[in-house]
Structure formats: C-alpha cells, structure tokens
Chains A and B, each alone.
Chain A
Amino acid sequence: NAGVMQNPRHLVRRRGQEARLRCSPMKGHSHVYWYRQLPEEGLKFMVYLQKENIIDESGMPKERFSAEFPKEGPSILRIQQVVRGDSAAYFCAIPGTGANTGELFFGEGSRLTVL
C-alpha cells in the first residue's frame, strides 16, 4: 500500500526496551489513525492525529504509549518499557476516498514481538 508506508515491518524488543513505529502517509495527507491488532481480537482504535495535534486518543493505554505527528516527518507511535502483552500488529491508516465516512486506507502494519 504505497499510500501509507510503515516501518519497520517487523520489530523485536526485549521486555523493558522502547519500540518506535513510524508511519508516513502519502503527500498531502495530514491525518492518521493508529490501530492495534491482537490475536483473535480484531482491530482496536488507539489514536487519531492531525499534524501537530491529537484529535482523539481515547483508545491509547494510559501509560507507556504515546503518539505524535509532527509538521515535518512521519507519525510516530512510541511504546516505552515494552511488555509481552504489547506484542501485536500496529496499523496506521489515512482517511479514504469517502469524505468523512470513516473509510480508511491502511498501511501494511508493523509487527512487534516482545521477548
């Protein structure tokens, strides 16, 4: 999905380390979503960002997780002091062609494994 580039595609961390996941939407897109996919649980909304602004972070865990989308550069999802339960696929998405309908265009995801 060239419209949304995510890296790294796979990341391995030991417990207590930090994980940084990056999302670069195609030029001209100023909004991104982050979702987490846990096995057998579907996709869970985490945060909705505009450049330099957090619109909705109601799905973000209260501790250790943070997200930003600076004026320049990619959106970053940061997980501090990772635990095994953080092992999941993290997806970034941008609004799709349907205006204000909630339609999303996803990246291929970053798969975090915590040892």
Chain B
Amino acid sequence: AQSVTQLGSHVSVSEGALVLLRCNYSSSVPPYLFWYVQYPNQGLQLLLKYTSAATLVKGINGFEAEFKKSETSFHLTKPSAHMSDAAEYFCAVSERGSYIPTFGRGTSLIVHP
C-alpha cells in the first residue's frame, strides 16, 4: 500500500530564504512521485514529477526535488523564496500500475517580507 507523510502543516520563511518542504513516502514497489501547488480557491497544479529518470527533478517556478530511495524521501526545495510562492503544497505518490495517486495532507508555505 502506498502512503505519504508531509512533515509540518505550516512552514514559514522570509523572502529570499531557502524553502524546504518535506515529503516521505511508503510504497511496496518503485513509485512515481509528484509535487503540486494550490493557490487559494483554485485547483492543484503540477510543480514537478519523478518517474524514474534523473533523481534530481527540476520543476516550474525554480522548484526542485530529489528522490532518495534509501530515505524514502522526495523533499521539495527552492533556493530563494518569493512572496508569490505562498500557497499550499501537496506531495503525492502513485505505485506503478495503480494509476490512483495518494496525496499527503499538504504544507502551507508562508512567506514573510
């Protein structure tokens, strides 16, 4: 069975600071992994995805994530936060052959001026 844990329901950073949002997963087979962003009153948009190519994945808006099999992690990072990055971020996992992704509870990113 697949599951996702996002550590920290809220993360607060200053503008210009490093962003680190944590995601750990469990899966019985090599998974596909995703990060989505949700702005208020909108749907989810795909930020980036890992599908077994390079373990360091680059996405939109300067975000990237690294798949670490030994740690079962897929943490999301951005070197320098912008005010416009304030949103809810969701990590998701999908086992190969499942087609039904499981989402974490989400992490709200707050960016201070």
| A→B interface (CB under 8 Å) | 1, 4, 33, 35, 40-45, 48, 56, 91, 93, 95-96, 98, 100-109, 111
Contacts and interface: CB of A to CB of B under 8 A. Distances in A.
B32 A108 contact: no
Interface of B: 9, 32, 34, 36, 41-46, 49, 51, 90, 92, 94, 98-106
Contact of B32 (A91, A102, A109, A111): A102
A45 B104 CA distance: 11
Contact of B43 (A41, A45, A108): A108
A111 to B, nearest CB: 8
B45 A106 contact: yes
B49 A103 contact: yes
| 5 closest A-B pairs by CB | A102-B94, A106-B43, A42-B105, A102-B101, A43-B103
B99 A42 contact: no
